[in-house]
């Protein structure tokens, strides 16, 4: 596959270089909100949505900053965009689905400090993607995030009732699970071909 073809960019972001399991981005919600399948799915959707919005806005802002020769403001501009996008999602969710809003709790405003979203904006700038490539990249990253958090939540629900040593309950167990998942995702590295 061509390195800059849209299909490759999508697969690369979603599976080969999965944002959570290969690039270590967005670990906080990945560990924090993956206790239940339903909540995990909502969190994944909210994050993917914020990714889409912020990636598109970041592309336009970056074009503007390059035009004005103000690239050193990029980081501040990006984080401001992301914070506003999160605020937007929060208001929408509060209005249309208060139950979901309560279930996500503190993790909703914390999407702002989800490094997967800022990372997405930064990577698409580094890779000099054009608008359509950025769009596909953000869709792939969002899909990859949903996939990872769903897998994790499924595993943790299964393990909920099993008899593990008391010291490995909680975070330690989640990290070991994440390690095994990450090991499995390494198998996809070959998909990238000679690239």
Partner 1 sequence: MALKPGEKPITADTFLRGLWRENPVFVMLLGMCPVLAVTNSVINALAMGLATTFVLLCSSVMVSLLRRHIPKEVRIAAYIVIIATFVTVVDYLIQAISLEIYHALGAFIQLIVANCMILGRAESYASRHRLSKTLINSLGMGAGFTIALLCLGSVRELLGAGSLLGIPIFGPSFEPWVIMLLPPGGFFVLGAWLLLFAWIKERQMQRKTQPNPVQAGA
Q: Which residues bind partner 1 (CB under 8 A)?
A: 21-28, 31-32, 72, 75-76, 79-80, 83, 109-110, 112-115, 117-119, 122-123, 126, 166-168, 170-173, 175-176, 178-180, 182-183, 186
User: Which residue, 172, 174, 147, 144, is CA-closest to 158?
Assistant: 174
Shortest Å distance, C-beta 145 to partner 1? 13
Tokens coding 95 = 């209005």
Of 7 and 105, the one with the shorter C-beta distance to partner 1 is: 105
Q: How far is CA 178 from CA 15, 44, 81, 94, 175, in A?
A: 15, 16, 30, 31, 5
Q: Mapping DSSP to helix (H, G, I), strand (E, B) and coil, where does residue 33 land?
A: coil
Q: Report the C-alpha gap between 25 and 172 in whole angstroms.
A: 18
Nearer to partner 1, 5 or 14 (CB): 14
Least separation, in Å, of the C-beta of 41 and partner 1?
Answer: 21
Residue 78 exposed, middle or buried by CB count within 10 Å (0-12, 13-18, 19+) = buried
In sequence order, which residues have a C-beta less than 8 Å from that of residue 38 and are 6 or more positions away? 103
Which two structure tokens, joined as six digits, stand for 37? 């399948």
Residue 101 or 113 having the CB closest to partner 1: 113
Cα 103–Cα 165–Cα 20 angle in degrees, nearest 5 = 45
Q: Minimum Å distance from CB 179 to partner 1?
A: 3
* Shortest distance, position 184 Cβ to partner 1, whole Å: 9
Least gap, CB of 169 to partner 1 (angstroms):
8
Least spacing, CB of residue 50 vs partner 1, in Å: 13
- Which tokens in the block code for residue 159? 């393990």
Nearer to partner 1, 99 or 163 (CB): 163
66/99 with CB nearer partner 1: 66
Closer residue to partner 1, CB minimum distance, 99 or 167:
167
């Amino acid at each position: 596959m061509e390195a800059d073809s849209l299909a490759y960019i999508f697969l690369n972001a979603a599976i080969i270089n999965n944002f959570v399991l290969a690039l270590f981005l967005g670990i906080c919600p990945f560990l924090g909100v993956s206790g239940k399948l339903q909540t995990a799915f909502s969190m994944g959707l909210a994050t993917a949505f914020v990714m889409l919005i912020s990636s598109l806005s970041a592309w336009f802002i970056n074009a503007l900053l390059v035009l004005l020769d103000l690239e050193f403001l990029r980081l501040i501009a990006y984080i401001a965009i992301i914070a506003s996008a999160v605020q937007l999602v929060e208001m929408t969710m509060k209005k249309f689905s208060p139950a979901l809003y309560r279930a996500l709790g503190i993790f909703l405003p914390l999407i702002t400090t989800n490094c997967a979203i800022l990372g997405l904006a930064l990577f698409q700038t580094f890779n000099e993607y054009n608008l359509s490539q950025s769009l596909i990249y953000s869709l792939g990253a969002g899909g990859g995030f949903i996939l990872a958090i769903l897998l994790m939540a499924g595993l943790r629900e299964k393990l909920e009732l099993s008899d593990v040593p008391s010291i490995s309950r909680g975070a330690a167990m989640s990290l070991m699970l994440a390690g095994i998942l990450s090991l499995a995702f390494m198998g996809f590295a070959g998909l990238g071909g000679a690239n």
